[in-house]
Amino acid sequence: MPADSVSPATARAHLDPRLLRAFLAVAEELHFTRAAARLYVAQQALSRDIRRLERELGADLFVRTTRQVTLTADGERLLPYARRALAAQDELLAVFGRAGAERPLLVDVNSEGLAVERVLRRARELTPDCELMARFESGLTGAAAELLAGRLDASFGRFAGLEPAVRARLEQQPVRYEPMAVVLPEDHHLAALDAVPLDALAGEQVYAGAGNPRTLEWTDLARRLFEGRGIEVAAPVPLAVGAGEFQRIMAKTRNPVLAVVDFPAMPKSVLRPLVNPVPLSPVSLVWRKGATHRGIKALRAAATEIADEEGWLKRPVEGWIPATDALIMMRRD
């Protein structure tokens, strides 16, 4: 047998869990495009994984037409086994590391200088012998993919902005109703105001991460906020990595930037809170279901302490938030 060939029996004995995850996503979505988006992979790559799984199992799992995707009898038969196998793997990953030296907890705080860094600092104080390492993923959509892949342990952001299938595999704890703001060039006609009424942005193109696949939840929040107010989401710009590159690109476009009140200062710009109404960015602590690392417990305790001290979860009467977000933010147990 050639060195690169694999018999069906050998292939079945060493089935890649990734192929089962691909199968489960397509089986639940019955749509390759949606399944690919759920897994954060290209549709072609997903199709290749499904074909490989079908070859290795020696069975057709889906009937594909131009109109729909349906499970075959073999696909229906595989479905409960795939779910049990992946649940077992997730449980194994969740408990791995209990014995022996505890691995560091990888915590995404979006970017440096934001308020959620205080939660991380407090958690470190609560568990001084536990290593909590900061990461900067710049968006919960991107961070969620890392959480589900096991490359990240916790993140912060707008939980309602994730796809339902992604949310189903994650846990969340509301942390803050964070007032939103706008970053303006220092010579912008609104820069002289202490606070910017939302309707004063009518006719403006405001940058809100459009085109960045890692910040889809933020762009969606902006579109909901701007709807019916005559404000446009600015067109995509080259994806900037790092604060310096982001500041350089924003200086070239001169678009106002939708931000939050704790957004770090940018050269030759001013940060102004938005009012009438006060738009709120709903921030949750997010982690993978089944995670047992004690650093998660420390983060949850720290978030609760600071939210109570600072009133982070007291929603302003004049505050604006989408209804779907409001429901999720009320789940505080």
Q: What is the mean pLDDT of the chain?
A: 87
Q: Could you give the maximum distance between any two Cα atoms of the chain, in Å?
A: 77
Q: State pLDDT tens for residues 306-333.
A: 999 999 999 988 899 999 999 999 875 4
- Contact in structure between 312 and 177 (CB atoms under 8 Å): yes
Secondary structure of residue 300 in the 3-state scheme: helix
DSSP state, residue 139: S
In three-state form (DSSP H/G/I as H, E/B as E, the rest C), the secondary structure along 162-206 is CCHHHHCCEEEEEEEEEEEEEEEECCCCCCCCCCEEHHHHCCCEE
Looking up tokens 């147990």 gives 333
DSSP state, residue 159: G
Q: How confident is the model at residue 242 (pLDDT cuts 50, 70, 90)?
A: low
Domain 105-177+281-329 classification at class level = alpha beta
Q: Do domains 105-177+281-329 and 179-279 have the same CATH topology?
A: yes
Residue type, 220: D
In three-state form (DSSP H/G/I as H, E/B as E, the rest C), the secondary structure along 199-256 is HHHCCCEEECCCCCCCCHHHHHHHHHHHCCCCCEECCCCCCCCCHHHHHHHHHHHCCC
**232/207 Cα distance (integer angstroms):** 9
Mean pLDDT of 120-142: 91
What's the topology of domain 8-95?
Arc Repressor Mutant, subunit A (1.10.10)
Write down the architecture of domain 179-279 according to CATH: 3-Layer(aba) Sandwich (3.40)
Q: Does the predicted model carry a pTM greater than 0.75?
A: no
What ranges do the domains of the chain cover? 8-95, 105-177+281-329, 179-279
What pLDDT score was predicted for residue 96?
60
What pLDDT score was predicted for residue 99?
43
Q: State pLDDT tens for residues 157-211.
A: 999 999 999 999 999 999 999 999 999 988 899 999 999 999 999 999 999 988 8
**175/179 Cα distance (integer angstroms):** 13
- Contact in structure between 159 and 153 (CB atoms under 8 Å): no
Q: State pLDDT tens for residues 34-90.
A: 888 777 778 888 999 999 999 999 999 999 988 899 999 999 999 999 999 988 887
